[in-house]
Amino acid sequence: MADEEVATKAPESDAVEDSAIPNDSKAQEGPSMGEHCVTDRPTPAGEVPTGEMTKIAEVDVYVTKPADYPHAPSKLLLFLTGGTGVKSTNNQLQADKYAAAGFLVVMPDMFGGDPAPNTTTEASAEEQPSFLESVKLRVGETAKSFMIDMWLARQTPEKVLPLVQKVLDGAKEEFADAVANGGGVYGVGYCFGAKYILILAGEGPDTGAQGQPTTDEEQGMVKTGPQLKTGVIAHGTMITKEDIAAVKVPVCMVCVENDQLFPDETREEGKKLLEKTGIDHEVKVYPGVPHGFAVLGDYDDEKIKASQKDAFEQMLGWLQAH
């Protein structure tokens, strides 16, 4: 199925009329975050992050650079994470992989010091719990699910977007050489962060510093254009058809077959909208892998390991080609 789901790449053309964007109320039904969004797989043995935690615009960020920067030119890559956040070792190692390929990576704390509750490293598959432990785990999972829902209610675009915008503006100023070398800012997003990469890749209302839409007496609601040169996402969550329809720059999407967190219907409708607007795009669906598979982490299943490697090569290849 993966081969059938690779979308054709279309040249850019004029955008679709707003009236052509379908209502996406169904996208909000069902689960919005899963275990893989808030749980890290075991970190591959012997791997240690090479970047550093610092601050940009008073926001905590993880910055990782190519070994030869600034002596050799680089390109600025904004990296938006899943619920495990900026301090996740696996997220930091994933960012390092892009840095090793020549990108200067800035990964902000999108959640303002409030990562998903009970963010943990997943236990080894060989550790089988007893019956009593299994019962306790099920009770704990119900409580955790409730806590995640409460956490999600706090992570609104009104909160997240201004924070990301502050870091993006600060990074563009601090690393102006990388922005100029790349001809703009590149973006990559996993799980929760994928939605915000699509938002930054699209045209929408200017939310201003307070996260509220700004208006002009003559123009009405002020719109802001795409802030990325191109974007790549993997197994996004809470993505709507409207998010995809608003995209105005080349975009690549790594998806999971039968993913409840990014329903096939939403993906297919979004792909049709990209084809209609003529935006250069690539959509590939990976069968037989869990949501979250593309984030660095150790798996026992060789098929998942191979798909993880393929997904990174796909995403990196897209960034390098644009």
pLDDT digits (tens, 9 = 90+) for 94-133: 999 999 999 999 999 999 888 877 554 443 333 444 444 5
Q: For residue 171, what is the DSSP state? A: H
Q: How far is CA 100 from CA 74, 105, 238, 275, in A?
A: 11, 10, 30, 33
Listing from the earlier edge strand, what are the strands of the sheet with 230-234? 52-56, 59-64, 103-108, 75-80, 186-190, 230-234, 251-256, 281-286
The token pair at 130 is: 């007893």
How many Å apart are CA 230 and CA 198, to the nearest integer?
10
Question: In the chain, what are the domains?
Answer: 18-321 (3.40.50.1820)
What is the pLDDT, as a whole number, of residue 209? 46
Residue 138: phi and psi, rounded to 5, are -65, -40
Question: Per residue in 260-307, pLDDT tens?
Answer: 889 999 999 999 999 999 999 999 999 999 999 999 888 899 999 999
Closest C-alpha among 38, 33, 237 to residue 120: 38
Q: Phi, psi at residue 255, to the nearest 5°?
A: -125, 160
Structure token digits, residue 1: 């199925």
The pLDDT tens digits of the residues spanning 6-61 come to 443 333 333 333 333 334 433 334 445 555 666 778 788 888 999 999 999 999 99
For residue 187, is pLDDT > 60? yes
CA distance 192 to 313: 21
- Cite the beta strand spans of the chain per DSSP E: 39-40, 52-56, 59-64, 75-80, 103-108, 120-121, 186-190, 204-205, 215-216, 220-221, 223-224, 230-234, 251-256, 281-286
